[in-house]
Structure 1
Amino acid sequence: MSNNTSQSCTIAPPNIPSDAGIAGAGILIAFITTATLALLLSSYLTLSTLRPSASSRIISLTTTIVRQLLGGLSDQQLISGISIQSLALARLHTITPYHFFIIWMLSLLSTATNFAALLALVQDFKRDWVLRWLRQAAMFVNMGLGVVLGVLVLEVQLKKLPETMAVGCVWDEGFKQADLEKEGGNNVLSVVGTIAVIAASAIIFALGTWYLHLRVQIWGRFVRVVSLVILWAVAVAATVRVVTVSQAFGTPSVELADEGERQWSFGQLLSLVLLVLPLISALEIYRGQLKVAACEGEKGEVVESDQVPLTAGGNGKASVNRFTYQPNPWFK
């Protein structure tokens, strides 16, 4: 390890710079809002199966939109969780325990969101073995990274690493626990809680894997509801911790050199603007797929208008009714 790194692991700086790319207000709001929306959609689909109602076109359309939206939000949360955890490990020798802990909490929020979506969309994944194993691989990577981050958080707590030092200093020879013992440290409750969260992540992954590859559905309604409540509890606890310890909304556990995480920049605003995409997707699913107009095909049969080729038929002349144009009802 370089001399500069060893020196930084010997003397604890008085403060650390902020990092709006990790704990900025816009980033946290966008992450939490996406997870909350996915959890609400998962709850709707899971609870709607408890009392199946009479089939109707409105219910069918609503369920289709919700399932497609939830699938996209679940994938987004899974990719975001893996990406942000990979970033934390890549910056192990520069990132401090403050930002590292926030990333770990966001990864737990991502995990709870994805397993809640699994409860609602498990039949969609079972129908295709490629989608099922892609989901399995992503779940394994997400769980593995979460456990690694949890172990590092535990190392920071056990070795009483000061909040202003990089997480990678727990293995540095320049770090002297005896000399810095008064400057850092956590109580026994935090250590026990960290171990419990690591164990819970592994247990949730094992149960989720078993549920994903189960050929015949044997989990009853009660078990699904209990699982959903537990996942909601994990998500709420992780969100509360992020809000309370972040500079953007609460009181950080370490002194920051500036107010960068409270300031709004283009990156912060962009994260919030992108929250409009699920609403646009829902409108496109409803108007573009579920209400697509029918028209006359090549041989007179009725087909969906989006399946009609762009060129004319064999006689070189397109039928008047082949291409359906829906006029604006207010400006016909």
Structure 2
Amino acid sequence: MAVFAGKSCTEIPDAVPSDAGIAGAGVLLSSTITASVALLISGSLIFQDVTASRSSSSPSQSRKNPSVIRRKLLNGYSDQQILVGIGLQSVGLVTANRIVPYHFFLIWMMALLSMATHNAALLTLVHDFKRDWVLRWMRQLLMLANLALSCVYGVYILQSKIKDLPDTLPIACVWTWEPEPDADTAPRGLGGLDVVGTIVAMAGNVVIFGLATWYLQSRRQKYFRAVQVGGLVLMSGIAVGAMTRAYLLSQAFGKPDVKLSDEGEKTWSFGQLLGMLMLVLPVISVIEIMRGEVSVAPPVPDDGDDREPLVVQEMVAGGKV
């Protein structure tokens, strides 16, 4: 008999405490605002590039407005989102002996949101990422780690659906839980809608990872603009779907599928307010760039050499700057 968090997996509590650090109103809102801003920036940059390439102006004229500020912001959001996805899922797995399937699923949805936001930024800034092979492969490894964690989450959730794990038991109990022989409900097997949806989500993550890898590593890409536009629409759809599901399931904005013993997820705690305040940080970067305090390499045009390094050292008066 397995024991988790001081309780047996056979002792089913009537209710579980809320967790504002996972499903609080501030946590969900800060994730949504960050993802929305990043997706809007990605869309504006792709739209600008598409209209510039179709205009009658010369390539040199279309490069006069390189959108350095937006690209700098988007690059920061891209790094943030891939790390947030890995961090969220890692913490969730570490605390799997404490959190229930309700909170575990919300973490997965927020990780899917981070993945979609990062991939949208990848579609926009792919030429910038290709300019340094170290940064490119580091990003590739982070994407692989995020995929591996997402698949592990999918397996946990799939197993909980197949076994009909009680909603108030920790998700880690899924490996030892066996319903009583006289239980009213029997395991649903592989025919339930939730089970099919989980399998489709896992398969979609693998396919998207493969396409993102090809997009990041390929030197010569056909139908570049169509891939950008289509990929952005797909990533936006995934982001909207993931957050809509999270909002409808959360205590703060919707109706949880588990009985919670309190309403702590509706309360604005210090941690949730801090997450909202952190949204102001990108504004500081914008001001620094506009004031010339931070120098940013201009983007490489689509027909340019993406092997050009991000940082170019120049010789000035016999020294390097």
TM-score, normalized by length of structure 1? 0.82
Instruction: Read off the aligned partner of 2:292 and give its amino acid letter.
Output: G
The answer to whether the 8 A contact 1:160-1:177 is kept is: no
Task: Tell me how far apart the structure 2 counterparts of residues 78 and 13 of structure 1 sit (CA, whole Å).
Answer: 35
1:88 corresponds to: 92
Aligned residue identity for 1:13: P
1:62-94, CA deviations, whole angstroms, 9 ceiling, x for partnerless residues?
x10011100101111111111110011101111
Residues 58, 27 of structure 1: alpha-carbon distance in 2 compared, 3 angstrom cutoff: farther
Contact 1:159 1:177 in 2 (8 A): no
Match of 1:32 in 2: 32
What is the SS of the residue equivalent to 1:49?
helix
Instruction: Flag the 1:280–1:58 CA change in 2: closer, same or farther, 3 A.
Output: farther
Q: What percent of counterpart residues are identical?
A: 49
Shift of 1:217: 2.8
Change in 2 beyond 3 A, CA 1:289/1:3: closer
The gaps in structure 1 that reach 5 residues or longer are 293-306, 308-332
* 2:173 counterpart of 1:159: no
> 1:184, CA displacement in angstroms?
9.0
RMSD: 2.6
Name 1:201's counterpart in structure 2: 205
| Alpha-carbon distance change, 274 to 131 in structure 1, aligned in 2, over 3 angstroms | same
Structure 1 segments (4+ residues) deviating >6 Å: 183-187
**Number of the residue aligned with 1:176:** 179
Instruction: State whether structure 2 residue 261 is matched by structure 1 residue 257.
Output: yes
Instruction: Indicate if the aligned counterparts of 2:247 and 2:254 stay in contact, CA closer than 8 A.
Output: yes
Contact in 1 for aligned 2:124/2:228 (Cα 8 Å)? no
Q: Report whether the alignment pairs 1:118 with 2:122.
A: yes
Structure showing greater radius of gyration is 1
User: CA 1:48/1:159 → structure 2, altered by over 3 Å: closer, same or farther?
Assistant: same
Aligned residues: 292
**Structure with bigger RCO (C-alpha 8 Å, 6+ apart):** 2
* Runs of 5+ consecutive residues of structure 2 not aligned to the other structure: 297-313, 315-321
Contact 2:23 2:265 in 1 (8 A): yes
Report if aligned partners of 1:162, 1:183 keep a CA contact under 8 Å in 2.
no
C-alpha contact (below 8 Å) 1:88/1:103 kept by paired residues: yes
Matching residue's letter, 2:38: A
37-46 vs 119-128, greater mean Cα deviation = 37-46
Distance 1:160 1:68, change over 3 A: same
